[in-house]
């Protein structure tokens, strides 16, 4: 008769080996979140929308769509630079409001007329276009700072700096294009171009102020104080910057 009694020592050793040697799970590399490139989902239609309707910049997300605002701001700055360059070219050519025709008869009087023929002659005549390029960048930064500071102070809703910069910068695509058109008109009619330039500047400021009122949810009773403090602060800042650069 064979011995069928199990070997208890071997059984115990096998159980101890199984418990002491668990199967380890393979190591998994930690997953790191990567920020998508702003150009990954670039859509030209968004720029077209900003060109046709500056108020659509309020829909831009500062974290992922700031590239549209950056492009719009660059076009605005370069458009203003071209506008100033065109005005200076016409001033340098002496063909301002038909001055060349007058100078054929009254050369001395023509020089005096040239110096006062446009209210824009003083700033455009004594500041180089390169300085105006810097001034236009600082001007945009100054209006964003003024609207954000006063809006966060008197408004019902506070906004982050980057958020406001994205929205306000997105409005400049249209005005940059308008400045380019005004610069082309300057070669045809200097005075008309200067009037258009003023209208563009005023309209741009109006759009920015209306956007700020909406973004910061400024109440009706505080809108007047918001406007005169923000626009007044911007005007003072630009006066100081102009004095520094001239």
Q: Render each residue's pLDDT in the chain as its tens digit; 246 residues.
A: 445 555 545 544 554 444 444 545 455 545 455 555 656 677 788 889 999 999 999 888 888 889 999 999 999 999 998 998 888 887 765 544 443 443 433 343 344 334 444 444 455 555 566 777 888 889 899 999 999 999 999 998 999 999 999 999 999 999 999 999 999 999 999 899 999 999 999 999 999 999 999 999 999 999 999 999 999 999 999 899 888 876
Q: What is the pLDDT of residue 75?
A: 94
Instruction: Give CA–CA dist 134/170, Å, rounded.
Output: 19
User: What are the C-alpha distances in Å from 90 to residues 80, 157, 221?
Assistant: 16, 47, 46
Instruction: Give CA–CA dist 82/200, Å, rounded.
Output: 14
Instruction: Give CA–CA dist 167/72, Å, rounded.
Output: 10
Q: What is the pLDDT of residue 35?
A: 57
| Ordered DSSP codes for 153-209 | HHSSS---HHHHHHHHHHTHHHHHHHHHHHHHHHTT-HHHHHHHHHHHHHHHHHHHH
User: Which one, of 49, 50, 43, lies nearest residue 176 by Cα?
Assistant: 50
Helix, strand, coil shares of the chain, percent, nearest 5, are 75, 0, 25
User: Which one, of 28, 67, 27, 29, lies nearest residue 47 by Cα?
Assistant: 67
Look up tokens 């998994």; give the residue: 28
Q: What is the pLDDT of residue 115?
A: 43
Sign of CA dihedral 101, 102, 104, 109: negative
pTM beyond cutoff 0.95:
no
User: Which one, of 165, 211, 169, 143, lies nearest residue 75 by Cα?
Assistant: 169
Q: Encode 171-184 in three state secondary structure.
A: CHHHHHHHHHHHHH
User: Which one, of 217, 182, 191, 81, lies nearest residue 138 by Cα?
Assistant: 81
**Through-space distance between the first and last CA atoms of the chain, rounded to whole angstroms:** 118
Q: What tokens does 45 get?
A: 């239609």
């Amino acid at each position: 008769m064979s011995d069928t009694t199990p070997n208890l020592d071997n059984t115990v050793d096998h159980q101890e080996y199984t418990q002491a040697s668990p199967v380890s799970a393979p190591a998994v590399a930690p997953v790191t979140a990567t920020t998508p490139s702003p150009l990954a989902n670039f859509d030209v239609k968004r720029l077209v929308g900003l060109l046709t309707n500056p108020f659509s910049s309020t829909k831009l997300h500062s974290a992922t769509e700031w590239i549209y605002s950056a492009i719009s701001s660059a076009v605005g700055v370069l458009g203003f630079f071209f506008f100033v360059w065109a005005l200076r070219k016409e001033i340098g050519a002496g063909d301002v409001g038909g001055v060349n025709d007058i100078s054929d008869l009254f050369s001395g009087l023509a020089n005096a007329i040239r110096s006062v023929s446009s209210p824009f002659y003083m700033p455009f005549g004594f500041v180089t276009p390169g300085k105006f390029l810097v001034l236009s960048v600082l001007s945009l930064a100054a209006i964003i700072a003024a609207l954000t500071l006063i809006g966060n102070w008197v408004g019902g809703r506070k906004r982050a700096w980057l958020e406001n910069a994205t929205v306000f910068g997105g409005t400049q695509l249209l005005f940059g294009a308008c400045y380019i058109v005004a610069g082309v008109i300057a070669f045809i009619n200097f005075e008309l171009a200067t009037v258009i330039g003023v209208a563009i500047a005023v309209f741009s400021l109006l759009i920015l102020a209306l956007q700020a009122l909406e973004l910061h949810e400024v109440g009706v009773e505080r809108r007047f104080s918001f406007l005169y403090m923000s626009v007044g602060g911007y005007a003072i800042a630009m006066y100081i910057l102009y004095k520094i650069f001239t």
